[in-house]
Structure 1
């Protein structure tokens, strides 16, 4: 997955961000992952295609899902109309030490993966897209504090019904400008990037 040195990159979660999974209900999550056809979050493919077409955005899907789901996830996202993307999934094999990756703290692991992407493309600007169901707010807040001039926007699909002024978000985004992160419900009406010549503000 080759990228230009400069440009816009989107780091996106998968479960409950672009794929309906219902992570907060473990029984439903298992059913949606292994027993049912995958279903996309309405409007997300349209938004990502618009960003790709109008802004030349390139995409990275970062997820705690194991690499064994790569083929299914890749086919699903392609068939659902999402732009081509790099996948960063969890490496897990039962017969070697990678099985220990299942025990890694998901927040720490996701921060490390995103950090590696930013390090690989030091001159690109990033948009982070996730959801409120698990630890994306905490992960993205930490990344934004470390790289205030690299993170243009953060968008979180609100699956928990929390409000922006909640104690959780105040802690997760402590020290981060409120103009950098947004909760959303309807992607097509609420996900908007700033003008191309806008620089990410400091925090």
Structure 2
């Protein structure tokens, strides 16, 4: 840990130099999201200084993983960059915010529902030393009657979010192939999504610098993949320990956005008791009383009795399940004919 903090200090200084030279580097769009309904899609991404990322491996040592973490968080986000978006025959321009992030809602119906759609992105300015190239992202449109929304940390991925030291060490010394999932989560999610027929969305307080790690982790652990919505605030080497922490209000806003994009879809909500998932999901049930089929909350330690009483005052706790294992969740889902 001490070794990492020393490297962190050195690389933070180097990162300031990189920011001054960013216009000389090659910059690119890193697309995150492209999903929607039959009539419109929502796209999101960021503009960053390009860097070469090596594929994760279960054989990599903790030292190599720490170096990979340093490289990940040394990437410079480009504020006020102009991005061109091409979708079918339509062209749009958007500008990135102070964290290099952009988003756009595009109202374009799918002309060929059975064909695969792609949306394309390109940086127009600032002009990089090397020509900017087009980046493509496959579009996912959903019209199913049911969906799943899940947290990630300590719900899918063992993170020890309530213990800062353990959480930080896991995040810097492990990679997508050496991080561990909660036991049985793959089976539970495959059952609940009917082997991919039901769409799944992930909403987490992890930052966008971990997007590739999360996607690789889900793929490697055979956990259903879906749109992954993370925290917008930029995390760098100086404040990497804050990743996943702070306010979780953004999760509420992102879940509301999913509900608005799919007004006829009902949802299963999955989270854990280590942070504020029960309270966030209770608020969603208040706002959308007929849209939540069930809530599954994985217990992290014991749930305080007064906390449960406060939840019961907000909403009826019918179909609001507190579980200790994926096996228990599967049994409850079968008993209630969810699967």
Which band: TM-score by shorter chain? 0.7 to 0.9
CA gap of 1:189–1:180, structure 2 versus 1, over 3 A, is closer
**How far apart, in 2, do the equivalents of 1:105 and 1:25 lie?**
14
In the alignment, which residue of structure 1 is the partner of 2:301?
A: 160
- Give the structure-2-normalised TM-score: 0.52
* Higher fraction of helix: 1
Does structure 2 conserve the Cα–Cα contact (< 8 Å) formed by 1:11 and 1:127? yes
Shift of 1:188: 2.0
In the alignment, which residue of structure 2 is the partner of 1:189?
A: 328
SS at match of 2:193: helix
1:24 matched to 2:162? The reply is: yes
Pairing of 1:160-179 with structure 2 (within 5 A): 160-162=301-303, 166-179=305-318
1:35 matched to 2:170? The reply is: no
Bigger relative contact order, structure 1 or 2 (CA pairs below 8 A, ≥6 apart): 1
Which stretches in structure 1 are left out of the alignment for 5+ residues? 96-101, 197-203
Shift of 1:91: 2.0
Between structure 1 and structure 2, the one with the greater Rg is 2
Which stretches in structure 2 are left out of the alignment for 5+ residues? 1-34, 36-139, 237-242
* Higher fraction of strand: 2
Cα-to-partner distance string for 1:36-82 (whole Å, 9 max, x where unaligned): 23110010111101122268321111001111100011001111011
In the alignment, which residue of structure 1 is the partner of 2:279?
A: 138
In the alignment, which residue of structure 2 is the partner of 1:150?
A: 291
1:72 matched to 2:204? The reply is: no
Does structure 2 conserve the Cα–Cα contact (< 8 Å) formed by 1:107 and 1:138? no
Shift of 1:195: 2.8
Q: Give the paired residue count.
A: 188
